[in-house]
Structure 1
C-alpha cells in the first residue's frame, strides 16, 4: 500500500511541477519531457535498489553518474537547473518511501508549493538581468555606472565587467537592475499631428462596399455648321498683321 501511495504521489507532483508550473510559464516542450523522464527514471531505480541488498558504494556511484552528465545540446538557465534538481528530489523521496507514509505526500507538496511561490510572477517581477555590449572602452567604473543608469532608466544598478577590449573599443557588461514601473500615457501627453487628413468616404450601407463614382465623360468640342449647297464657303479670317505683310 505504501508503494502505491508513493508512486501516485510522485506522478501527481511531477505533473504539477513539470506541466502546470514550468511548461505553462516557460513553454519548452523538450525540458518538459526531460523533467518527467528524469523523475520517473530516478523513482524506478530507487524502488529497485530499495528491494535488494546493495552497498553504499553503488548508491554513490549512481549519484556520480548523474553528476557528470553534461547538457551540451543546449544552454539552460539556472532556473531550469533548479527544476531538474526538484524533479530528481521528488523521485528520490517517493522511491525511498520514508515511514510514516504521510511524509512522502507532505514533503512532495511542500516542495511543489515552494517552487510555485518562488517562480511566481509576483516574486521579484521587476528584477532584470542583461548582458550589454557598449561601443566604448570604459575604464572608470563610476562613468560606466552612470551610463548604465541612463540606459536602463533606473536609480540602482549592479554590474560586472565581463570583457574590456581597448583595441576594438568595446565593453561587455553583465547588468542587474530593477525595472521601472510602467506609466500610463495621460491625455495631456498625447501630441496631435499637424497633417490634414483627407475627408473620409461615407460608410457603406448594409455591409456592401462603397461605390466608386464613375469618371465624367470626355467632352468633345462642337463642330461648325456645314455650308448650304450651292454657296461658297466663307473665307477664313485673315490676321491684320498678316494682311499688312502681304501688301508690303
Structure 2
C-alpha cells in the first residue's frame, strides 16, 4: 500500500512539474520539505505514510499549472483510484499485520514462527523481531499472517458453530 501511494504520488507530481513552467529546483525543494516533515513528525505507520504522501501530492498538483488542462485532474484521479483499489478491504481480506509482545525471549526464528502459528491459529508469512529482552523474558515481534477460512473455523476452542 505504501509503495503504491508514494510511487503514484511521485509520478504525478514529477509529471506535472516537467510540463509546467516551474523548474526542477522547485520540485526537489518540495520533496525535500516533505522529507523534513516526515522526519520531524511523530512516527507514522507505512500505511499512514501512503495516505499522507498522497494527500500532499494532491495538494501540490492542484495549484500547478500545466500546458494541458486535463493533466492535473487526471493525475489527481489516478492517485485517488490507486489508493482506493490498493487499500480496498477485499484485496487482502484474510491478511493481517500485528505487533505482539510475547512472554518469553525467543531467539530462534523457526521456534518463533511455530509459536506464533500456535498462538494465532493462523499461517505466519513473516515475523520480524523488533526487540528481545533477555532480562524480562519478552519478545516484541511484528507478524504478518493470514487468517484461516472463517466459514469452517471454530468460534472458540472445541466449539463448532
TM-score (normalizing by structure 1): 0.47
Closer, same or farther in 2 for the Cα pair 1:106/1:60, shift >3 Å? closer
Equivalent of 2:131 in 163, 173, 177: 163
TM-score (normalizing by structure 2): 0.69
Q: Which has the higher contact order (CA 8 A, sep 6+)?
A: 2
Indicate the structure with greater strand content. Answer: 2
- Is this contact kept in 2: 1:137–1:164, CA < 8 A? yes
For 2:27 and 2:71, locate their aligned partners in 1 and report how far apart those are by CA, in whole Å: 22
For 1:146 and 1:110, locate their aligned partners in 2 and report how far apart those are by CA, in whole Å: 42
- Is this contact kept in 1: 2:127–2:144, CA < 8 A? yes
Describe how 1:150-189 pairs up with structure 2 within 5 A. Answer: 150-183=118-151, 189=160
**1:68 is paired with a residue of what secondary structure?**
helix
Alignment match, 1:196: none
1:91 and 2:59 matched: yes
Describe how 1:137-148 pairs up with structure 2 within 5 A. Answer: 137-148=105-116
Count of matched residue positions in the alignment of Structure 1 and Structure 2: 137
Equivalent of 1:129 in 65, 82, 97: 97
1:71 and 2:41 matched: yes
Structure 2 gap segments, 5+ residues each: 1-16
RMSD: 3.0
Closer, same or farther in 2 for the Cα pair 1:89/1:120, shift >3 Å? same
